[in-house]
Amino acid sequence: MREEIIETARLAQLDFTEDELTQAEVQLGRMLAYVNRLSKLPAGESEDAPAHVNVFREDVVRDEGLATEIIAGAPEARENQFVVPKTFANE
Amino acid sequence: MEKLFQDALALSAAVRGGEVSVTEVVEACLSRIEKSEPALHGFITVDAEGALSQAKEMQKKISSGEMRGPLAGVPIAVKDNISTWGLRTTCASRMLADYVPVYDATAVAKLRDAGMIVIGKTNLDEFAMGSTTETSFFGVMKNPWDLSRVPGGSSGGSCASVAAGEVPLALGTDTGGSIRQPSAFCGVVGLKPTYGTVSRSGLIAYASSMDHIGTIAGSVRECAALLDVIAGKDEKDSTAAERCKQSKQGNAYTDHTDNTTFLSSTSQTDLQGMKIGVPQQYLSTDVNPQVKDAVLAAAGALTYAGAEVEMFDLPMTDEAIAAYYVIACAEASANLARFDGVKYGHRAASYQDLHEMVRRSRSEGFGAEVKQRILLGTYVLRAGFYEDYYLKAQLAKEQIAKAFAEAFERYDVILTPTAPTTAPKLGESLADPLAMYLGDVDTVAVNLAGLPAISVPCGLDSQGLPIGLQIIGNHFREDQILRVASAYEAIRGEFMSPCDTAEERPS
């Protein structure tokens, strides 16, 4: 289970300390055991799935004039752009 | 002024009649907040300066006759996961501790259009994930009825601030009971509308398919009037529908535009011809006997107003919590993936590369409960587990909706407790998260089915803590739950406030 939690945390882009991992092992284990009651439901789609209707509108480009304000809220910005660490390694 | 604060509609009428100015109302509200906050901690941000400047602007519009809605000039508190332009919106998380939105949520814009004054942002469980308001990064808050107890959650701040008389009205959000359960614990009225009645644009998402914005007030009438303000279609949220009544013929739904106000539904307190069902499963042995007695007494009282009340079997109740937590956490894991320390929110101070920056920022920014829910959500969506958990939960959700649909063929509304207990002591719930999740048993199925429901106080337990009665309606039939809730309120009479002394409480 611990290995699965470590892999799941990696997928969720979260670091867990040893203590948090131990706690997660207990909590996730209990939750999954509880949730297992759903396994007795038959597999497959329900025949009575409600009918959903798509709602469309015209895709119109609009300038809200907020670019500067939005970028001002970023943790790090330069020349009206978001700053991120290098995305590609040099290998 | 003291008396006016007991009724938002009367308060607005007094403002519009020139008996009192908007500035005087806002000042009175701020001084109430200042007095109660040290003990309560219902607010994360109080915007005194902004509220006073809004007051001046609104006064002009009210005096000139431009603004004449039934809630014009009334101050309101907004839960801190609903975006407010220029006013910090934190979700009670370190992740968004300094986040200032550059737009208003549609519901907030509608408050402003109706002449209401946003006075501040209320405390909640971090990202609305909790049932006690104890996971807030900005500190634990208390229940005004008993400061050693939780106010419930996650809209604990909104409900407690209304209960304590800090504000006459508040907006909350409800994904699995987060308006109704704290309303029950704090002795106020809380309404979660049908999914689609109120736009979610600007609500910071937890579980998009079950998130709702709703209203909190001291009475059913005030809740209805506030819902009139915030409801309606919105091009920014494709799930927000025209205010309508739906009727089902075979598998097809027909919409009828409904021009009556929610407020007008509350004046119809005669329940002649109305059929009310009480599901046995919601009054099982796990329910506190005092809660059960209060709900049955309320059901009995409704027969005096002319309603026909009977017990019935509502299947799939047992599966609701499991389905809810699987779907809510799955959606949360996707929704909260946006917090990566790039465009807004917390960014870690040191890192080697992009991946480490994202991981560290998220791990530092999110609290323990949020991390656990993201973990569960990511797990149930993983290849190999998806079919066993997420797909089964979706199937359960459909069957729960079907069970309710069948019940609504026989009944106009369904009556249950809002929560199986009254407010627990601080610290009791977090020790056992699964037990806390199980406490949501009365509310989560309603979110899975997208139905409207209201919680109305229906008595006090032997410790003097409020008990909530939940009235559930069919899709877009807010009018019916408001009608039944008003009828019940009329029979029950004035409900106590936590400020009343113990001697004044009914036995």
Segment B162-202, tens digit of pLDDT: 999 999 999 999 999 999 999 999 999 999 999 999 999 99
Q: Is residue B191 part of a domain?
A: yes
Q: Is residue A54 part of a domain?
A: no
> What is the pLDDT confidence band of residue B248, given thresholds at 50, 70 and 90?
very low
Give yes or no: B154 in active site.
Answer: yes
User: ipTM of the predicted structure?
Assistant: 0.93
Measure the CA–CA gap between B465 and B422, rounded to whole angstroms: 6
Q: Is residue A85 part of a domain?
A: no
A2 three-class SS: helix
Using an 8 Å CB-CB cutoff, list chain A residues near B366: 14
Q: Is residue B436 part of a domain?
A: yes
Integer angstrom CA distances of residue B409 from B5, B247, B252, B291: 41, 11, 15, 27
C-alpha A47 chain-centroid distance: 30
DSSP-derived secondary structure for B136-193: -TT----BTTBTTB---SSSHHHHHHHHTTS-SEEEEE-SSSTTHHHHHHHT-EEEE-
Measure the CA–CA gap between B287 and B315, rounded to whole angstroms: 18
Measure the CA–CA gap between A50 and B61, rounded to whole angstroms: 45
Q: Is residue B402 part of a domain?
A: no
Q: Is residue B353 part of a domain?
A: no
Closest Cα of chain A to B329: distance in Å? Answer: 12
Q: Considering just the CA atoms, what is the radius of gyration of chain B in Å?
A: 21
**Which chain A residue has its CA at the smallest distance from B398's CA?**
A49
Q: Is residue A51 part of a domain?
A: no
Residue range B353-396, pLDDT digits in tens: 999 999 999 999 999 999 999 999 999 999 999 999 999 999 99
Q: Is residue B220 part of a domain?
A: yes
Strand partners, A52: none
pLDDT of residue B498: 83
Residues 6 or more apart in contact with residue B79 via CB below 8 angstroms: B121, B122, B124, B128, B155, B157, B158, B170, B171, B172, B173
Residues 6 or more apart in contact with residue B203 via CB below 8 angstroms: B81, B82, B83, B105, B107, B173, B211, B213
The domain of A28 spans: 2-39
CB B163 within 8 A of CB B118: no
Neighbours of B497 (CB within 10 A): 17
Tally the domains of chain B: 1
Q: Is residue A60 part of a domain?
A: no
pLDDT of residue A45: 60
- pLDDT of residue B448 exceeding 60, the answer is yes
Q: Is residue A65 part of a domain?
A: no
**Cis bond upstream, residue B31 (ω within 30):** no
Strand partners, B472: B414, B453
Give yes or no: B79 in active site.
Answer: yes
Across chain B, mean pLDDT equals 93
CB A66 within 8 A of CB A73: no
Q: Is residue A33 part of a domain?
A: yes
pLDDT of residue B271: 96
Q: Is residue A12 part of a domain?
A: yes
CATH number at residue B138: 3.90.1300.10
B344 three-class SS: coil
The domain of B57 spans: 4-237+255-314+418-504
CB contact under 8 A, B393 and A89: no
Question: How large is the average pLDDT for residues B114-124?
Answer: 98
Q: Is B386 on the interface with A (CB under 8 A)?
A: no
Residue range B273-315, pLDDT digits in tens: 999 999 999 998 889 999 999 999 999 999 999 999 999 999 8
Q: Is B348 on the interface with A (CB under 8 A)?
A: no
Among B12, B93, B155, B178, which one carries the catalytic annotation? B178
Q: Is residue B333 part of a domain?
A: no
pLDDT of residue B295: 97
Q: Is residue A16 part of a domain?
A: yes
Conformation bin of residue B427: beta by default, left when phi > 0, alpha when psi is -120 to 50: left
DSSP-derived secondary structure for B60-129: HHHHTTS---TTTT-EEEEETTB-BTTB---TTSGGGTT---SS--HHHHHHHHTT-EEEEEE--SGGG-
Closest Cα of chain A to B193: distance in Å? Answer: 19
Measure the CA–CA gap between B425 and B148, rounded to whole angstroms: 6
Q: Which of B120, B144, B123, B145 is nearest to B134 (CA)?
A: B123
Measure the CA–CA gap between B295 and B310, rounded to whole angstroms: 13
Integer angstrom CA distances of residue B449 from B195, B231, B240: 9, 19, 16
CB contact under 8 A, B382 and A86: no
Using an 8 Å CB-CB cutoff, list chain B residues near A51: 251-253
